[in-house]
Amino acid sequence: MPTLSIEDVPDDLYVRLIARAAKHQRSLAHEVLHLLERELNDPVAAHPAALRAHLRDPRMALQTVWVTATDIAAARARARTTA
């Protein structure tokens, strides 16, 4: 497995990482890996502020899809016939 070394980490960031690792009962290395994986796998979930901004975007209202009880009944009927 490859090794990653990071140089010139600002003191305040290092202290925050150590505190976060302790809070989640992880080693510093595991906390950093967790944060990297979360960021790379789902950047919107990693940034709640970005998610809130995304949801407040007026264009999101145009993407709303309304599903009626009739739509649900038809989907259930289709599922029964294909199962």
Domain extents for the chain? 11-82
pLDDT digits (tens, 9 = 90+) for 5-59: 999 999 999 999 999 999 999 999 999 999 888 878 876 666 677 767 767 776 6
**Residue 25: what pLDDT?**
95
pLDDT for residue 61 is more than 60: no
The per-residue b/e assignment along 39-52, b for 16 or more CB within 10 angstroms, e otherwise, is eeeeeeeeeeeeee
Average pLDDT over residues 75-80: 83
